[in-house]
Amino acid sequence: MSRIPVAFPVSVLLLTLSIPCAGQSLVEGPEKPVAPRVAQSQPQAPVDSSVIVVKPELTEEQLADLYMARKDYREAAQVYKRLTDQNPQNPVYLNKLGIALHQQAALGQALKYYERASKADPSYADAQNNIGTIWYQRKKYGKAIKAYHKAISIRADVAVLHSNLAYAYFADKKYENAIASFRQALALDPQLFEHNGSRTGSLLQDRSVEDRGRFYFLLAKSFAEAGNLERCLIYLRKAKDEGYKELSAVRTDPSFAAVVKDPAIQEVLAPKPPDGTQP
């Protein structure tokens, strides 16, 4: 069964640095001459050679966040570990160390630090969510659902939490629950599937599924209920491309009532023509 790769969208502290990705050159093409800009009305102030400009150094946390942005997870974990040793009750440091370990597939160690973060601050929804992602990856969907529900009880206004819960319900074959959770996630953030969805760099989002055809159909259904024809079409087409066998349910499912007569929807529902013939 094919799988969509897990996406762990973790946005980190954005520093005022420009760093090339691995393998990316700083020079992207021939350098073009640039005409110098001349200030005509504002004379340039004389330079005081006695003034020494000192650039601020990165804090330990900023350095670790920078390593995370560059996907240098081992180096990030080392710095976060120093921070947690110095601040053993800091839930943010504990949680970020868990993420750095998680990204190295050290799930057991990651879980330990997520649980420590949650114990240090029971109101820290991000750590509870990340506990859920561990159970999801281990296919312990009941435990994942429980963890996501706990996170939502703390922060019900975060779309990613509802999305993660929806994925867990889907994997557990509780499709109506999955639809309800996706609907709630999209109500909070209609562009949820267009970006990573992380709020602070401490919240993981899992998007791995096995039955992709059914999954895309359920997403199309959620967008149809939200009145978003464009997104509904995108995911219906994806479901069709995956060979989903129950696509005709669109004609009778009340969730699609507002969009089913649209010509583009009808085109998607039309059977594929035999090979070698024109549609």
pLDDT tens readout for residues 113-124: 999 999 999 999
Note the pLDDT of residue 271.
Answer: 82
Distance CA(153)–CA(147), nearest Å, equals: 10
User: What does the alpha-carbon distance between residue 115 and residue 16 come to, in Å, rounded to a whole number?
Assistant: 33
Q: Which residue has the higher pLDDT, 190 or 279?
A: 190
**Percentage above 70 pLDDT, the chain:** 75
Residue that the structure tokens 């599937």 belong to:
193
Going by C-alpha positions, the residue among 238, 220, 226, 233 that lies closest to residue 262 is 233
The candidate with the shortest Cα–Cα distance to 61, out of 113, 96, 11, is 96
Helix or strand run (H / E) with residue 92: helix 91-102
Contacts from 249-254 at CB under 8 Å and sequence distance 24+?
249/217, 250/220, 253/221
Query: Which of 8-17, 54-63, 201-210 shows the lowest mean pLDDT across its residues?
Result: 8-17
Cα 125 from Cα 142, distance rounded (Å): 18
Closest CA to 139 of 113, 163, 176, 168: 168
Task: Give the count of beta carbons closer than 10 Å to the beta carbon of residue 167.
Answer: 26
**If pLDDT is split at 50, 70 and 90, which confidence band does 253 have?**
very high
pTM of the model: 0.72
pLDDT-based confidence at residue 17 (cuts at 50, 70, 90): very low
pLDDT of residue 238: 93
Tell me what pLDDT residue 78 has.
97
Contact 189, 159 (CB under 8 A): yes
Q: Closest Cα to residue 90, out of 82, 19, 264?
A: 82
Query: 256 Cβ partners below 8 Å, 6+ apart?
Result: 221, 224, 232, 250, 265
Considering only residues 205 and 85, tell me which one the structure prediction assigns the higher pLDDT: 85
**Average pLDDT for 194-211:** 70
